[in-house]
Amino acid sequence: MTSLPSPAPDRQFTRLLGQIGYGLAALAITLLGLMLVTFLIGRVVPTDPVLSIVGERATPAQIAAIREKLGLDLPLWQQFFIYVRDAVQGDLGNSIRTGKSVTSEIARYFPATLELATLGTIFGTLVGVPAGVLAATRPGSLADQIVRVVGLMGYSMPVFWLGLIGLLVFYGQLDWVSGPGRLDPTYDMMMEFTLTTYTGMILIDAALNGAWDVFGNAVSHIILPAGLLGYVSMAYISRMTRSFMMNELGQEYITTARVKGMPEWRVIWVHAMKNVLVPLITVIALSYAYLLEGSVLTETIFAWPGLGSYITDALFANDMPAVLGGTVVVGVVFVTLNMASDILYRLVDPRARI
């Protein structure tokens, strides 16, 4: 009469495997679709990659030779097949501008974006979640108004404007932080020639090398752009946290917790927060993905050599392999984050575990 249905453990395991397999298949299909679209766009734009290699005055024979070398004489589907085959092996072709492998270039640019976006998301979450909770627990109060206005500003003010003002005030006037770039030139040389590179993220690499002067310089460079991105993501996260939290605090189980005499901090930070986390994970992952895709404007203003700058520069130079490669990486990041948030979601919500 009081027994509970529970699937046998081996069946649960099979189901888990199935879910993982499903996730990987979805990942593969999404990426394939993304590659196809970017590939086709790259092929239909009216720029001739051959021309930019051989120059205007090449003979038809020279052009034909290059076309053959690049595989451009093959049918389109075959070109795509070759592109995918190489991409799977980590070869995204060579940049037309520099002649270097796109993969190795992205491996240099992406860590800069990763470092900036991760720090920004950490800022945004550490400030945004408590701010949203504070606002939700005192709706209409002064604290709520402040959180709302500050959040609204993060929404509506242009990033480049905020960035320039930030540079002007904190770098130009107050001299509290360092200017554009990831490091001062001297430290940049040190980083390049005397320290071991592990991740390409300067903060982590400098710490691993024990080079605390480099670390300090990197902090003074990254704090402003990371703070700016953190502010933008904080605006989004605090607003969503507020509305999720308001919704949870209106639920009956909250009254139950209070009936049990639980203190208010526990009602909010344990009972309600565990439920808020379910949708909030997706929000944080989305905002992280948004920053990771390369916040072009921020990277431009702060001369930050990241993925956003890389793709933009490549676009202006008609460097299609580089654009394509960058886009594929953005796609991989996006899909991976989506999957990660899906897994986390299942961990925090027992109802999604089936």
Partner 1 sequence: MSLLEVRNLRVTFDTETGPVQAVRGVSFSLGRERLGIVGESGSGKTMTGRAVLRLIRPPGRIEAEAMTFDGQDILNMPEREMRALRGKRIGMVMQDPKYSLNPVMTVGRQLTEGLRLRDRLGRADAVAKAIAALEAVQIRDPHRVMDAYPHELSGGMGQRVMIAMMLIPEPDLLIADEPTSALDVTVQAEVLSILDGLVRDRGMGLIFISHDLRLVARFCDRVLVMHKGLVVEEIAAANLLAAKHPYTQGLLNCLPRIGGPRGPLPVLDRTGV
Footprint on this chain of partner 1 (rule: CB under 8 A): 1-6, 250-253, 255-263, 266, 271, 274-275, 278, 348-351
Our CB check for partner 1 shows the closer of 257 and 320 to be 257
Closest CA to 351 of 278, 251, 246, 252: 278
Distance, CA of 300 to CA of 309 (rounded, Å): 6
Q: How far is CA 22 from CA 17, 66, 309, 352, in A?
A: 8, 42, 34, 16
Our CB check for partner 1 shows the closer of 157 and 278 to be 278
Closest CA to 222 of 126, 302, 127, 122: 302
Distance, CA of 284 to CA of 153 (rounded, Å): 19
The distance of closest approach from Cβ of residue 278 to partner 1 in the complex, given in angstroms and rounded to an integer, is: 7
The distance of closest approach from Cβ of residue 354 to partner 1 in the complex, given in angstroms and rounded to an integer, is: 11
Our CB check for partner 1 shows the closer of 277 and 307 to be 277
Q: How far is CA 133 from CA 79, 101, 150, 342, 344, in A?
A: 53, 47, 15, 24, 21
Residue 101, classed as helix, strand or coil, is strand
Our CB check for partner 1 shows the closer of 167 and 240 to be 240
The distance of closest approach from Cβ of residue 348 to partner 1 in the complex, given in angstroms and rounded to an integer, is: 7
Q: Which residues on neighbouring strands pair with residue 22, listed in sequence order? A: none
Our CB check for partner 1 shows the closer of 195 and 348 to be 348
The distance of closest approach from Cβ of residue 302 to partner 1 in the complex, given in angstroms and rounded to an integer, is: 40
The distance of closest approach from Cβ of residue 26 to partner 1 in the complex, given in angstroms and rounded to an integer, is: 26
Contact 159, 236 (CB under 8 A): no
Closest CA to 354 of 58, 85, 94, 16: 16
Distance, CA of 221 to CA of 140 (rounded, Å): 38
The distance of closest approach from Cβ of residue 144 to partner 1 in the complex, given in angstroms and rounded to an integer, is: 14
Our CB check for partner 1 shows the closer of 84 and 254 to be 254
Our CB check for partner 1 shows the closer of 199 and 251 to be 251
Closest CA to 232 of 313, 303, 152, 342: 152
